[in-house]
Structure 1
Amino acid sequence: MTGRRAVEKSTTPNPASGSTKRAPQGRGTRRTTGLKDEPEFIQLLTPTGERIDHPDYPLELSPEEARSLYRDMVLVRRVDAEGTALQRQGELGLWASLLGQEAAQIGSGRAMRPDDFAFPTYREHGVAWCKGVPPVNLLGMFRGVNNGGWDPNENNFNLYTIVIGSQALHAVGYAMGVQRDGGDSAVIAYFGDGASSQGDVLESFVFGASYNAPVVFFCQNNQWAISEPTSRQFRVPLYQRAAGFGFPGVRVDGNDVLACLAVTRAALEHARSGQGPMLIEAFTYRMGAHTTSDDPTRYRSSDEVESWRAKDPIVRLKAYLDREALADETFYKTVDDEADELAAQIRSGCLALPDPDPLSMFEHSYAAPHAQVAEERAFLADYLAGFAEEEH
């Protein structure tokens, strides 16, 4: 393919075996991010849209597949924008934006097989899209009308997890179950750089390594754990933590959808083939606020944001499509029109979400009847009945 160049091939030790056999870790190219000189990472697409070959992570992509990745990212960004707008309009209580992280989520999401199971945090809207969860279903929890909005078993996509880092333990437990059931699927656990400091995540590393579980740990390092920068969180590159637990780690350019696709695909195969866990650090950036209750201007500079804006994952892939003449204006307009239609469906779907019966909160709290819960339910029922009497 035209416009490609290769990076130096490398051999790195496999920390799980102590050998020098090349594991799916690889070396990338040292890049200057505009913030500081960062350690090497895997990159298949430069910020200007130039295609790179990497010896450890080959990727053959058809024009149709490349266009599909662009479509995915544009539509998911629009889903995210509508979520933010709905919260600002008072229709959602909260929204966690993925702006800037589309490549990490779409690349890793499209790397999964249908039978692979994903355990998300609360901002994996792009992964949910790849797993077939309708965008409107993502809004229920943020609107306060349900506790999730979808059946995890229908799409192999777990419910959003608000408790920071707990989903990593859930993922390892599920992977151990797959292992014992004799399955050949893999599990992927998503978390952020802040969650990597949580005990639950580190415990999941221990159990995943000890049982050689078929799990991939996918950390979206977006540089900020709410208002705490990565410089205050750890003293070594995050992906290098994996070596201390006995499994491979790799850093990938998280704004490069092709690299995220290739590396995650290799990691999932590494896991499902019986070689145990692998940690992927997707080096990316949160362009927006941590959530809609956050004001990032209080702790980071506009110059920093602008330096990362130049690495926009959608702009990067579009530059590649244009460079290789893989798309035209008709295609881009079609995608934009589809995004407008999707936004309208999300708005109408959000407003149509039914409010739950207030008393339903007491259902399924315990497997068997519980006296205190029954007393609390009766108290609320009497309280609500008083409003009905006033209306009459």
Structure 2
Amino acid sequence: MSPISATALRRAMQSFLPSLVPVRFVAEDGTTAPEPAGYTAPDEAQLREAYRRMVIGRRFDTQATALTKQGRLAVYPSSRGQEACQIAGVLALREDDWLFPTYRDSVALVSRGVDPVEVLTLLRGDWHCGYDPVATRVAPQCTPLATQVLHATGMAEAMRRRGEDRVAMAFIGDGGTSEGDFHEALNFAAVFRAPVVFFVQNNKYAISVPLARQSAAPALAYKGVGYGVRSEQVDGNDLVAVLAVLTAAVDHARAGNGPFLVEAHTYRMDAHTNADDATRYRDAAEVEAWRTADPLTRLEAHLRGRGVLTDEDVAADREAAEAFAADLRARMNTDQQVDPLELFDHVFAEPTPQLREQRALLAAESTAQEV
């Protein structure tokens, strides 16, 4: 077999390379940017629905943050400023596709249709997962960095082997791309052509570690090239662009062309969690500069400029978001009755002798304390 020519090799490599600059459809002020080659903008109905979901998602995020201050949640990792990524990731998938989220992707779960109280069950400390992953096609929110990308790859490969027309999408942060699990998942997915989309939300900090201390690559999207994974980078605060790129990535994976890596350049407006002091590692000027790129106000300005969104629409969406938040407050303002013996439920399909012994010991101790 003759060796591949230099020209053919360059062409092959170029097919995997991301755009030199992040894909963008809409500028910070809401005006239309030059349309990038190779991508199709979502239609007006999709954008109108995306805006509605972003308004609700932003209000949910604000309400969840308030619940931590009221003692109703143990912790909450805000995704304020990342709503374009959260909503676009959900809209790019079909209902029978699988979503593998991180702990910061609560807004995506709410947009997916998961009950917000069930979404917050993990963060309240009641259960490891408050919703049914099989019924929702949403894996449990993952706190360990990058382990969910292996789970997504495994699910995608299983669906491929069964001949199912489904795709898995794994959300991951920039810090997670430094983990070994991330690289193992990319390599496996590429070799077996698993229908999985790796969606990196690069919000510039892994807790307090800036991107420059994590990677020397020109962009995280280039990390896919060495594994033979088609890659792209996108303006993560431009909902139009994120949805266009993710839709193309999902179509690519669903068509049997293998995995796709998308890096979205965005920013975490709030602290890592309510337990973090972000002022210790970033200054106010940096945060303020990113406010001009707010994904919600950008999409609103864009839709208003196109005549798709009116004052009445904005008022109605905000009213619906307030009703959503009020319902969440009412249902979260209760003390849950927890059973310590639930610790042993769902560990194994068939409990091991050791688990039965531990459960019996805890039951006996609990009974003795009650007496």
Supply the AA of the counterpart residue of 1:166.
T
Alignment check: 8 A CA contact 1:97 1:123 kept: yes
Please identify runs of 4+ aligned residues in structure 1 that moved more than 4 A: 20-26
Distance of 2:160 and 2:22 partners within structure 1? 31
Distance of 1:387 and 1:186 partners within structure 2? 50
Distance of 1:326 and 1:299 partners within structure 2? 40
SS in 2 for 1:218: strand
Distance of 1:373 and 1:242 partners within structure 2? 42
What's the TM-score once normalised by structure 1's chain length?
0.88
Aligned to 1:255: 237
Supply the AA of the counterpart residue of 1:228.
V
Aligned to 2:66: 85
Alignment check: 8 A CA contact 1:145 1:355 kept: no
How much does 1:215 deviate? 0.7
> How many residues are treated as equivalent by the alignment?
362
Aligned to 1:275: 257
Match runs of 1:161-180 below 5 Å? 161-180=142-161
Identify if the C-alpha distance between structure 1 residues 312 and 205 changes in structure 2 by more than 3 Å, giving closer, same or farther.
same
Name the % identity: 39
Aligned to 2:11: 19
Aligned to 1:318: 300
**Aligned residues: CA RMSD:** 1.9
Identify if the C-alpha distance between structure 1 residues 268 and 312 changes in structure 2 by more than 3 Å, giving closer, same or farther.
same
Supply the AA of the counterpart residue of 1:254.
G
Distance of 1:220 and 1:343 partners within structure 2? 26
Alignment check: 8 A CA contact 2:42 2:243 kept: no
Alignment check: 8 A CA contact 2:252 2:258 kept: yes
SS in 2 for 1:343: helix
Residue 45 of structure 1 pairs with residue 26 of structure 2:
yes
Distance of 2:256 and 2:12 partners within structure 1? 19
Supply the AA of the counterpart residue of 1:51.
T
Q: Deviations over 1:228-265 (max 9, x none)?
A: 00000000111011111112211100000010100000
Q: Deviations over 1:131-169 (max 9, x none)?
A: 221212111111111221111121211111111110000
Alignment check: 8 A CA contact 1:26 1:56 kept: no
Residue 309 of structure 1 pairs with residue 294 of structure 2:
no
Residue 116 of structure 1 pairs with residue 97 of structure 2:
yes
Alignment check: 8 A CA contact 1:133 1:155 kept: yes
Match runs of 1:1-392 below 5 Å? 19=11, 23=15, 27=19, 40-52=21-33, 53-62=35-44, 64-236=45-217, 237-352=219-334, 354-389=336-371
Identify if the C-alpha distance between structure 1 residues 113 and 24 changes in structure 2 by more than 3 Å, giving closer, same or farther.
farther
SS in 1 for 2:120: helix
Q: Deviations over 1:277-300 (max 9, x none)?
A: 111000000001111211111111
Q: Deviations over 1:182-223 (max 9, x none)?
A: 112111111000000001111001101110111110000000
How much does 1:354 deviate? 3.4
Q: Which shows bigger deviation, 108-117 or 231-240?
A: 108-117
Alignment check: 8 A CA contact 2:17 2:222 kept: no
SS in 2 for 1:49: coil
SS in 2 for 1:157: coil
Q: Deviations over 1:64-113 (max 9, x none)?
A: 43222111111001111111111111111111111110001111211111
What's the TM-score once normalised by structure 2's chain length?
0.92
Unaligned runs of 5+ in 2: 1-7
Alignment check: 8 A CA contact 2:190 2:258 kept: yes
Distance of 1:232 and 1:21 partners within structure 2? 27
Distance of 1:167 and 1:21 partners within structure 2? 28
Q: Which shows bigger deviation, 171-180 or 355-364?
A: 355-364
Distance of 2:293 and 2:112 partners within structure 1? 26
Higher relative contact order (CA 8 A, sep 6+): 2
Supply the AA of the counterpart residue of 2:11.
S
Identify if the C-alpha distance between structure 1 residues 103 and 21 changes in structure 2 by more than 3 Å, giving closer, same or farther.
same
Q: Which shows bigger deviation, 372-381 or 317-326?
A: 372-381
